[in-house]
Amino acid sequence: MTSKVINLGDLCTECTHLQSGNSFITNAPLDNNGKGEAFSPTDSVATGLEN
C-alpha cells in the first residue's frame, strides 16, 4: 500500500502518501453536492494524466 485515505465527512477526504507523509485534501465539486473547496477526486486523476 502506498497511500492512506481518510473520509473527513461532507464529501471530503485526506489522502496521505505513506513513505513521504505528504498529504492533500479532496472535496466534491458544487455540482456533485460538495463544497468545491479543494481538488475533486476527478481533478486529481486528470492532473495525474496531464503531460
Give the pLDDT score at 35.
95
Q: Is residue 40 classed as helix, strand or coil in its secondary structure? A: coil
pLDDT value at residue 40: 96
| pLDDT score, position 37 | 95
Digit-coded pLDDT (tens) for 4-51: 999 999 999 999 999 999 999 999 999 999 999 999 999 999 999 986
Amino acid 22: pLDDT: 98
Contact 19, 7 (CB under 8 A): no
Q: Cell 464529501 belongs to which residue? A: 11
Per-residue pLDDT, 39: 95
Report the distance separating Cα 42 and Cα 15, nearest Å: 14
The helix (run of H) or strand (run of E) holding residue 15 is: strand 12-17
